[in-house]
Structure 1
Amino acid sequence: MLRKRMTEDAAQDITDVAQLTQQLAGNDQWVASLLIPLVQEYARTTTRDIKDFGRGW
């Protein structure tokens, strides 16, 4: 139950960050090229954190 809620919240957070990136970059490809890798890393890290949550307890 907790992991499901964390997953849902994280998915919304990732969506929000991606939308903010689009707003910040606008039509500027250079800014987008700087922001997109950050968003991708955020998504990967968040996914990994949820996947690993509770392991080793």
Structure 2
Amino acid sequence: NAIQATRKGKLQRALNTLYGSVLSTISLTVPAVLLIGEVTGTKVILGLEQY
């Protein structure tokens, strides 16, 4: 647990846990949203365009 690691002074372990959680969440959410957009015929804008 990241909170327990932080309390024990293991900040690097806590940050690695945080980054891993964020990466896995993004890796699962973005493809799911794109798939739902394709199935429903909805245009999905990820906000990654350059201006």
TM range (shorter): 0.5 to 0.7
- Alignment deviations for residues 19-48 of structure 1 (CA, whole Å, 9 cap, x no partner): 1111111163x5213xx23xx6xxxxxxxx
Per the alignment, residue 20 of structure 1 pairs with: 32
Distance 1:25 1:32 in 2: 6
Would you identify which runs of 4 or more consecutive aligned residues in structure 1 move more than 3 Å?
none
Tell me the secondary structure at the aligned position of residue 18 of structure 2: helix
The alignment yields a C-alpha RMSD, in angstroms, of 2.0
Q: Number of residue pairs matched? A: 35
Which secondary structure does the structure 1 equivalent of 2:44 belong to?
helix
Structure with higher Rg: it is 2
Name stretches of at least 5 consecutive residues in structure 1 with no aligned partner. 41-57
Which has the higher relative contact order, 1 or 2, with Cα contacts under 8 A spaced 6 or more apart?
1
User: Taking structure 1 as the reference length, what is the TM-score of the superposition?
Assistant: 0.48
